[in-house]
Structure 1
Amino acid sequence: MIIKLVITFFKWLSVLFLIGLISAAIYGYLLLERLSDELPDVNQLKDVHYQTPLQIYSKDNLLIAEFGEKKRNPITIDQAPKELIHAFLAAEDKHFYEHHGVDFVGLFRAALKLATTGKKEQGGSTITMQVTRNFLLSREKTYTRKLKEILLSLKIEETFSKDTILELYLNKIYLGQRSYGVAAAAQTYYGKSLNELTLAESAMIAGLPKAPSAYNPIVNPARAMERRDYVLYRMHKIGYIDQQTYQAALAEANTARVIHRGIELSAPFIAEMARQKILELYGTQAYGSGMKVYTTITRPLQNAATRALRNAVHSYDERHGYRFKLPDAPAQKTDIDKMPIIGDSYPALIKRIDNDKATVQLRGGKNVEVPWNNMKWARKFISRNARGAAPQSIHDLFKIGDAIFVRQLNDKTWALAQIPEAEGAFVAIDTIDGAILALAGGYDFNHNKFNRVTQSNRQPGSGFKPIIYTTALEKGYTAASLINDAPIVLEGSRPGHEWRPENYNRRFSGPTSLRVALRQSKNLISVRLLLNLGIKPVVETAMRFGFQKNQLPNSYTLALGSGQATPLQMARAYAVFANGGFLIEPYLIDRIESGDGKLLYQANPQVACLDCTSESPSFINQAPRIITPQINFLMNSLLRDVVQRGTAVKAKRLGRTDLAGKTGTTNDHRDAWFNGYSTTISATAWVGFDNFNSLGYKETGGAAALPMWMEFMQAALQDKPEIPLTPPEGVAKMYVDAESGMMMSAEIPGGIWEFFDTTQQAHMHTNFEFTPPDEAHFSERHPIETLF
């Protein structure tokens, strides 16, 4: 009876087991069917787009900046050294080339560990499964996701070769310090390419995927070394390396340190301009696109611009005295190391004082000597127009232990410095196509990110006068036309509101030719020209030169440059004179390439083409001509005279005759400008305060801004031949009376040679038409409702 019951029990148990087995099979099948329907398509791995930083380069292929959170440099599998591959296989999946995507033995071992201890243990995940997890699935840790991972891994193995799977893995894996992929990790930790890594360094990188933070060689060097040595042990045990190689690698020290890929060219204002443009074109996804943006700047000219701007604002600062020493001297050298380098000014600690020099210690411990001659400028600052007595020795200024700023001069000597309060801007553009050749928007981008080249609208002062003179020449005036340089009073709309413009030197010269007036920057003659021409024609001319109507006041103060303009606009306007009369459009981005090297954009700027005609090939993108060749030649002649004999005569030190331009100084010396050009480069330099404070007495464009322009042009035009100014057809050279401007015989002494636009002979003014009827009174009043 008992035996029969036992047999019956086992029969029912067998039936229940069979039913359970069938049910489990059905459930498993249905689950797999459902999961299969939910699985992503593995074919999307055929067109993987890695998130790589947006990179900004110079025209000469130097890295300026990177934007994006993930550092990655994708590689192909044949670019991965064999030692590196072996290190990863030893650390992560030694049977990679043998299994079909899933290591079932490893999975069983992990499952058994979970069953016996209740703890999940890493292991059992093949490289293929990690690729599945990283590319196709979320990071959640559930049994369902694990099943999906297994199924997808099997599909991936059916679809892709082992080398392709390994390539995906090596490019995607996170390796700490924001580095994704082996190439980025090699650069981040060692500053090397993959082929330059030692075996020990490859093993260190291969040890990171298990726990990038725990085994980080920067943060946890001891644990990282243990993990590295384990990887080397596995390589030796598997047979990838022999005993001697193994021992040599174990003996190698940890050389890892965070290495930020060296910015090869410092041009942060350029980088920010490019970033904003790319963001405008492509949106925020550009940050991970791997796009390479090539700008129009080059290292020699960009460095020259940065250096010239900094030297100019330092020179201005030194003319007005030493404002301060750094607060309390640091107690220790390490405190100096924590202080920022601002611009070209380095914090330093005075260690020794001799009669003729001071020895100072820079950040990092380096000692340099500062000669007394490079410190004696430090008279105490009192105001913009006053300084204290000159110091007689270094001891009058400092004591040992004081913290100061120093900078290295062009001659490589060190000098006492202070962070300039005044700011500057400089931009140079190619006169033919508008390419920005160099740009510095301020003393230090990290100190103040405001880009004064593009964002600062300032009064251009006398730099606007060439627009008025261009209008005058177009209306029939000549370079020899005489205008009376005499006092003038312009009445406002209300009694007592009068404007009495003055020349800078407050002297009057009487009848003066346009050539001399522009050369000497005569304010009163510019006002009289505007009165005679009218505001509307001058505004129309200015708009042809690229200025906006809202930048141009409907007022006779426009004669003195009371409008607004950015330095970039001024450089563009002066490029018209340089290139033969064409309005070009400044641009910064030359081309854009995708992460895989495909050309996404190529600049096609309009060009100043002197030889182009209506029959020229259509592929020539010609810029519009806005002034005639004759007017252009006359303005060139006048503006070259400014350099040779006028307010910019300092520029003659460059030893060239093909330079031209115009100084600009605004009311109360708030802005100092020089806008100038050679045939190929138009450049504008500006110095001023962001809060519009006065620069101080005698801080004119020629004193504060011209030296910046000169320093840059000296570097930019080195070894560049001069290009002579050749009169075009329609320009004649005539001998005229210097006092009356009338033509006379060349045999009569006392005359001068002058150029004339013969195409305008029919409506050319005589000198007698240029003065108002009451000019003989030497001073007159004009009602002017639009002035105030």
Structure 2
Amino acid sequence: MSTDNSNKKLKKKRKFGAKSILSTFIVLFLLLGVTAGGIIFAVLKNTSPIDPSNIQNMLDDSSFIYDKDGNLIEKVHSDSFRSVVSIETMPKDLQNAFIAIEDERFYKHHGVDPKRIIGAVIYDLKTMSKAQGASTITQQLAKNIYLTHEKTYTRKIKDMYYALELERYLTKDQILEMYLNTIYLGRGATGAQAAAQTYFSKDVSELNVAECAIIAGITKNPSRYSPFTTEKIASGESLDNIQLIFYPNSTKAESIPAEESALFSQMLSKGLIDKFQYDQLNKGEIVVRKAVLNPSSVERQLTVLGKMLELGFISQEQYDEAKSYPIEIKIGSKSASGISSYFGDLVKKQVLQELITEKGFSEDEARDTLYKGGLRIYSTMDMNMQKIVEKEFENPANFPGSFKDSSGTVQPQASMVIMDPKNGEVRALVGGRMIGGTKIFNRAINPRQPGSAIKPLAAYLPALDKGMTAATIIDDSPHYDDKGNLWPRNYDRKYGGPSTMRALLTRSSNVGTVKLAEMLSTSKAQSVKTMISYLEKLGISTIVKSKDNPSINDENFSLSMGGMSKGVTNLELTAAYGAIANSGVHNEPIFFTRAETANGDVLLENKPKTRKVVSAQVAFILQDLMKSVVEDGTGSRAKIANMPVAGKTGTTSNNYDAWFVGYTPYYVGATWIGSDLPRELSTGSKMSAMLWSKIMSQVHSGLPAKQFDQPDGIIKVSICSVSGKLASSNCGGHVKSEVFASGTEPKSYCSLSHYVAPVEPVEEQPTDANGLSPNEAEWENQVEEWLDNGNTDNNSTTNNNGNGNGKGNNKPPQDNSAVPEGY
């Protein structure tokens, strides 16, 4: 009896104990629920609302720059590369691979998977960590778009809430599309399309099952499961089928070992690297490694394939085939090979400027739009022309006397611009040679002294526009500055006597140019202002005025010969000559024609800003004068076969800068050669003229032969080249055919006897330390004697109507031989 009572009491105690424990757990669960509810309420109270309908606009998308024919030049992105594509473009196997490994109940839950959450909580409690993820694909999308990647329960609560909101407004396919465009997949690639291009150099639509699985496997740990790792390239290792990847060199070496330099040369010869990468490698600015298949990534791939098989996404046969498929890494390129960054940098700069000025964007908004807005930017580049210039700039034979300076940069340096003068579209631009990298110093947009290349623009164009003609006579005789010093001097130390404007420009007379410039207005001061006014209308922005710098400025007649405080940029000089080629209308250079959004909507339409500078007739006459420069004068080395060329050479003091600027009926272009730190070149402007001809001959290959268009209102008249008047029977060998704007031709006939006193030419001699040649004093004495004999006055001219004063039958010391080459 007592035993039975004891058993009954024990049973009641156990029953009470069980009830007590259950009650305790219920109370604790309720307390935890209330506490958790309070925490969740507090978190959600401070959670910002979202607008799922706007999610597409929140995706960062890399922009792309294309040439004028739609060929990719450069992918523009910030820290990561992304290219947004529609889900219809993505293989079903890729979608299923991500669902299998990331969220197998994706199509069954409503944004949050309770079963997975419980499993993750139990795991975290067991391990006392936050290591187990429970996020669905929808939660991961919410995190990628709206939140940070910190591992806190607060963030977990928020991404669950946002996931539920996304599921209310978006379909499953929309969510999956956004997710596959936002997931980070290592090596700077964000989204499946970027990953396909980064690891396999192919479009996402071309991925097979094996490649889909290896990409889906990256998400767990992008650093660990990237499809490739990098290794150093061993000396003597075969370079066949090798995949290269480049990194900035954080520990720049003092010098590159000979065996490494030899390896770089081998890579260049095999076409594995371009000349720009070669330059950076030899300078130690970047390092190169080979990409090899990552074993951890392959293991992860098998896990993904196994999960796909388990869920019925693939068959056993597909599994076996994918498992045995040899993964081949092929590193995708983010820019066109062999193309320097100079052009692309200017495209980006101009897009930013237009976004700010035309669209009213702030600087930050413009930058975000360019680097993250998924723009499709159509540039003006002609890829073929650009590669021609790049190729010739790579050829050391085009730059005699080349050397490397203390920084390892090849000297002399050079720049070239080629532009379509009719619309201002820049077709090719290079701002240096044998230099790699991005955002590098661009010599095409940094000023250098132009030398005589400025003469047609500063003096001859305004003179023609002011009523003078190609037959106007200027006395190329000694000229003195305001202090009584003989200035300027012609480069050959000789004078030509009375000469037409055409003759002066053909032989690039300094004296004749200064005298012409002095005649542009009623006073010398006004004449200088006239020069500046025309140069500014031609787009030259680097002129220094006295109000900006009273002591050093360009308000003097040295400007007419290219003596400038800052100089002029190649780009602006090209566009200025383009105005002459374009019948007197200046087009500001443009580097892109339009920028579209990822949806194809036109965001920017870039049209050149035009400005009429002179009439078509004035422009044509100056053009004809510059044709003579190429046909008979200093620019003869710039000729190209079966195509007329008009242009002008330019050489600065001590041969520091060498120019040729010219154009054909198709394109205008300018070449500059010079050292970064001024140093005498081995030759003058003939080097630039020859390079211009070599490049432009290739550019015009296959183009139909064509002459310059002649506008209405142009006539040709036979004139005397000594007097500038209509030719008479006495003019003999001095008769020349000259072009005029109708109504400006001379009206009277020449009456001169044309006697020219024979004078032995005085050859130019090497200068001494004082800048005087051994025969300088003798030469100056001849000039003074010639003046004392009353042969001419200081500024003797004959106007455009041929009504000159008749002086100048005799000439000062001169040389009738051909113009020296290369000036």
Query: What's the TM-score once normalised by structure 2's chain length?
Result: 0.73
What residue is the counterpart of 1:303 in the other structure? 387
Paired residue for 2:418, among 425, 428, 432? 428
Answer yes or no: is the 8 Å Cα contact 2:446–2:568 preserved in 1. Answer: no
Q: Does 1:680 align with 2:669?
A: no
Deviation at 1:686, TM superposition (A): 0.9
What residue is the counterpart of 1:616 in the other structure? none
Paired residue for 1:51, among 56, 60, 63? 60
What residue is the counterpart of 1:600 in the other structure? 603
Answer yes or no: is the 8 Å Cα contact 1:578–1:680 preserved in 2. Answer: no
What residue is the counterpart of 1:618 in the other structure? none
Deviation at 1:274, TM superposition (A): 2.2
Q: Tell me the distance in 2 between the aligned counterparts of 1:115 and 1:469.
A: 88
Deviation at 1:562, TM superposition (A): 0.9
Q: Does 1:80 align with 2:117?
A: no
Answer yes or no: is the 8 Å Cα contact 1:270–1:439 preserved in 2. Answer: yes
Answer yes or no: is the 8 Å Cα contact 1:114–1:121 preserved in 2. Answer: yes
Deviation at 1:690, TM superposition (A): 1.6
What residue is the counterpart of 1:231 in the other structure? 304
Deviation readout 1:244-272 (Å, 9 max, x if unpaired):
22222222233235433452671411111
What residue is the counterpart of 1:391 in the other structure? none
Deviation at 1:777, TM superposition (A): 9.7
Alignment of 1:179-218 (within 5 A): 179-218=189-228
Deviation readout 1:207-238 (Å, 9 max, x if unpaired):
11111112222138121111111111222222
Q: Tell me the distance in 2 between the aligned counterparts of 1:459 and 1:159.
A: 64
What residue is the counterpart of 2:279 in the other structure? none
What residue is the counterpart of 1:553 in the other structure? 554
Structure 1, 31-40 or 519-528: larger mean CA deviation:
31-40
What residue is the counterpart of 2:591 in the other structure? 588
Deviation readout 1:423-451 (Å, 9 max, x if unpaired):
11111222112111211111144279221
Answer yes or no: is the 8 Å Cα contact 2:640–2:696 preserved in 1. Answer: no
Q: What secondary structure is seen at the aligned counterpart in 2 of 1:490?
A: coil
Q: Tell me the distance in 2 between the aligned counterparts of 1:228 and 1:722.
A: 61
What residue is the counterpart of 2:785 in the other structure? none
Moved over 6 A (4+): 1-19, 773-777
Q: Does 1:522 align with 2:509?
A: yes
Paired residue for 2:655, among 638, 645, 669? 669
Q: Tell me the distance in 2 between the aligned counterparts of 1:599 and 1:247.
A: 48
**Would the alpha carbon gap of residues 89 and 492 (structure 1) be closer, same or farther in structure 2, given more than 3 Å must change?**
same
Letter in 2 for 1:125: S
Answer yes or no: is the 8 Å Cα contact 1:490–1:499 preserved in 2. Answer: yes
**Would the alpha carbon gap of residues 565 and 136 (structure 1) be closer, same or farther in structure 2, given more than 3 Å must change?**
closer
Q: Tell me the distance in 2 between the aligned counterparts of 1:122 and 1:589.
A: 50
Q: Does 1:438 align with 2:422?
A: no
**Would the alpha carbon gap of residues 225 and 421 (structure 1) be closer, same or farther in structure 2, given more than 3 Å must change?**
same
Deviation at 1:119, TM superposition (A): 5.0
Answer yes or no: is the 8 Å Cα contact 2:455–2:513 preserved in 1. Answer: no
List runs of 5+ in structure 2 lacking aligned partners: 230-292, 357-362, 546-552, 748-798, 814-823
Answer yes or no: is the 8 Å Cα contact 1:269–1:445 preserved in 2. Answer: no
**Would the alpha carbon gap of residues 246 and 770 (structure 1) be closer, same or farther in structure 2, given more than 3 Å must change?**
farther
Letter in 1 for 2:679: N
Letter in 1 for 2:537: R
Answer yes or no: is the 8 Å Cα contact 2:639–2:693 preserved in 1. Answer: no
Structure 1, 498-507 or 2-11: larger mean CA deviation:
2-11
Deviation at 1:766, TM superposition (A): 5.1
Deviation at 1:147, TM superposition (A): 3.4
Paired residue for 1:41, among 49, 62, 66? 49
Letter in 1 for 2:574: A
What residue is the counterpart of 1:60 in the other structure? 69
Q: Tell me the distance in 2 between the aligned counterparts of 1:720 and 1:421.
A: 34
Q: What secondary structure is seen at the aligned counterpart in 2 of 1:515?
A: helix
How much identity, in percent, do the aligned residues show? Answer: 28
Alignment of 1:73-472 (within 5 A): 73-219=83-229, 221-263=294-336, 266-280=339-353, 281=356, 282-283=363-364, 284-285=367-368, 286-311=370-395, 314-317=397-400, 320=401, 420-446=410-436, 449-472=440-463
Q: What secondary structure is seen at the aligned counterpart in 1 of 2:743?
A: helix
Q: Tell me the distance in 1 between the aligned counterparts of 2:202 and 2:556.
A: 63
Answer yes or no: is the 8 Å Cα contact 2:390–2:430 preserved in 1. Answer: yes
Q: Tell me the distance in 2 between the aligned counterparts of 1:466 and 1:29.
A: 80
- Give the number of aligned pairs: 660
Answer yes or no: is the 8 Å Cα contact 1:132–1:152 preserved in 2. Answer: yes
Deviation readout 1:363-403 (Å, 9 max, x if unpaired):
xxxxxxxxxxxxxxxxxxxxxxxxxxxxxxxxxxxxxxxxx
Deviation at 1:112, TM superposition (A): 2.8
Answer yes or no: is the 8 Å Cα contact 2:499–2:721 preserved in 1. Answer: no
What residue is the counterpart of 1:744 in the other structure? 727
Letter in 1 for 2:561: L
Paired residue for 2:695, among 712, 719, 733? 712
Q: Does 1:486 align with 2:477?
A: yes
Answer yes or no: is the 8 Å Cα contact 1:294–1:589 preserved in 2. Answer: yes
Q: Tell me the distance in 2 between the aligned counterparts of 1:32 and 1:475.
A: 83
**Would the alpha carbon gap of residues 262 and 462 (structure 1) be closer, same or farther in structure 2, given more than 3 Å must change?**
closer
Deviation at 1:775, TM superposition (A): 10
Deviation at 1:188, TM superposition (A): 0.8
Q: What secondary structure is seen at the aligned counterpart in 1 of 2:411?
A: coil
**Would the alpha carbon gap of residues 768 and 140 (structure 1) be closer, same or farther in structure 2, given more than 3 Å must change?**
same
**Would the alpha carbon gap of residues 31 and 749 (structure 1) be closer, same or farther in structure 2, given more than 3 Å must change?**
same
Q: What secondary structure is seen at the aligned counterpart in 2 of 1:706?
A: helix
Deviation readout 1:584-615 (Å, 9 max, x if unpaired):
21121211122333211001224xxxxxxxxx
Answer yes or no: is the 8 Å Cα contact 1:218–1:258 preserved in 2. Answer: no
Q: What secondary structure is seen at the aligned counterpart in 2 of 1:735?
A: strand
Q: Tell me the distance in 2 between the aligned counterparts of 1:676 and 1:92.
A: 63
**Would the alpha carbon gap of residues 148 and 768 (structure 1) be closer, same or farther in structure 2, given more than 3 Å must change?**
closer
Q: Tell me the distance in 1 between the aligned counterparts of 2:501 and 2:155.
A: 84
What residue is the counterpart of 1:364 in the other structure? none
Letter in 2 for 1:755: V
Letter in 2 for 1:263: A
What residue is the counterpart of 1:360 in the other structure? none
What residue is the counterpart of 1:620 in the other structure? none
Deviation at 1:33, TM superposition (A): 3.6
Q: Tell me the distance in 1 between the aligned counterparts of 2:146 and 2:579.
A: 57
What residue is the counterpart of 2:676 in the other structure? 690
Deviation at 1:722, TM superposition (A): 4.1
Q: Tell me the distance in 2 between the aligned counterparts of 1:21 and 1:69.
A: 46
Q: What secondary structure is seen at the aligned counterpart in 2 of 1:214?
A: helix
What residue is the counterpart of 2:267 in the other structure? none
Deviation at 1:705, TM superposition (A): 0.7
Deviation readout 1:187-220 (Å, 9 max, x if unpaired):
1111111222221111111111111112222138
Paired residue for 1:652, among 639, 642, 648? 639
Q: Tell me the distance in 1 between the aligned counterparts of 2:372 and 2:622.
A: 49
Deviation readout 1:300-346 (Å, 9 max, x if unpaired):
121222234444x64232xx37x68x99xxxxxxxxxxxx9x9xxxx
Cα RMSD for the two superposed structures: 3.4
